[in-house]
């Protein structure tokens, strides 16, 4: 079976061009593997909103996105960040297909609320139309996807990049979903847990061992796994060999979550 890997980019490894040079090297070294990329851009959004005199508020780790904010958020994610990632990869030999959740209605969303609280223009994905992504993959391109999406009326919404990655990994028939983070995996004490089942991870969340931002990432992992994505990896980028180790199921770093 041909591997199809969705990589959700995050972490300091991808703040500069060097990380993308290594990622391009890894993609080119695995021509028999389909690669899809989803990215966020939280730090740059925060800076752009600050520069515009906007106040940033988070509820349960989710950025409240007001009507006057969404244009800025979309310009950052679907404009500068998406274009920069695509251009860096293409400069290193990878043919990209830049797009967003709005492209050919890849993601159709509805407003997300949290414990009854309105988050503004923050979307929850309720429909995925993966053809635009799978067509690009079939044409030998690497889709590079901003999570900005739209509702049925075409209004733009900010979508959590982890949630978008999980939904797309399931809809596009991915064999692996890889979250690249700033931490080496799921830490139990000071040790990285090499593998977890959903049940084990849920117990660790209930016990407060897994906490903070890792809880939301785990929830996205659970969604992907219950929608038939075989494996979810939470890793820290270790260089160009990282992708090959994931493909060969020989990764010595990070945590693999299975159903």
Angle at 224 between CA 201 and CA 1, to 5 degrees: 115
Gyration radius (Cα) of the chain, Å: 17
pLDDT at 157: 97
User: The tokens 């969705």 sit on which residue?
Assistant: 6
Predicted local distance difference test score (pLDDT) of residue 24: 96
Element (H, E) at 37: strand 34-39
What's the domain range around 69?
4-258
- The predicted-structure confidence for 221-241, as pLDDT tens digits, reads as follows 999 999 999 999 999 888 888
Please report the pLDDT score of residue 213 as a whole number. 78
The Cα–Cα gap between 9 and 179 comes to: 7
Give the global pTM. 0.94
Tell me, what's the pLDDT at 238?
86
**Interval 166-211: pLDDT, tens:** 999 999 999 999 999 888 888 888 888 999 999 999 999 999 898 8
CATH number at residue 212: 3.40.1160.10
Which parts of the chain register pLDDT below 70? 1, 11, 13, 250-252
Number of domains making up the chain: 1
């Amino acid at each position: 079976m041909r591997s199809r890997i969705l990589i959700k980019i995050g972490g300091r490894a991808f703040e500069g061009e060097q990380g993308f040079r290594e990622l391009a090297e890894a993609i080119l070294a695995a021509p028999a593997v389909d690669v899809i990329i989803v990215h966020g851009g939280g730090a740059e959004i925060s800076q752009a909103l600050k520069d515009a005199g906007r106040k940033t508020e988070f509820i349960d780790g989710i950025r409240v996105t007001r009507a006057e904010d969404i244009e800025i958020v979309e310009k950052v994610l679907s404009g500068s960040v998406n274009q920069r990632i695509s251009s860096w990869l293409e400069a290193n030999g990878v043919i990209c297909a830049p797009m967003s959740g709005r492209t050919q209605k890849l993601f159709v969303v509805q407003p997300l609320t949290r414990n009854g609280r309105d988050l503004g223009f923050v979307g929850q994905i309720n429909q995925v139309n993966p053809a635009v992504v799978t067509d690009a993959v079939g044409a030998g391109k690497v889709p590079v996807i901003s999570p900005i999406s739209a509702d049925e009326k075409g209004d733009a919404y900010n979508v959590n990049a982890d949630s978008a990655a999980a939904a797309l990994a399931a809809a596009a028939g991915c064999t692996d979903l890889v979250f690249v983070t700033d931490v080496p995996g799921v830490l139990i004490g000071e040790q990285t847990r090499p593998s977890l089942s959903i049940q084990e991870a849920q117990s660790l969340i209930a016990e407060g061992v897994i906490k903070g931002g890792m809880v939301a990432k785990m929830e996205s992992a659970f969604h992907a796994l219950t929608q038939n994505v075989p494996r979810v990896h939470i890793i820290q980028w270790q260089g160009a060999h990282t992708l090959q180790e994931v493909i060969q199921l020989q990764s010595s770093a990070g945590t693999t979550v299975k159903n």
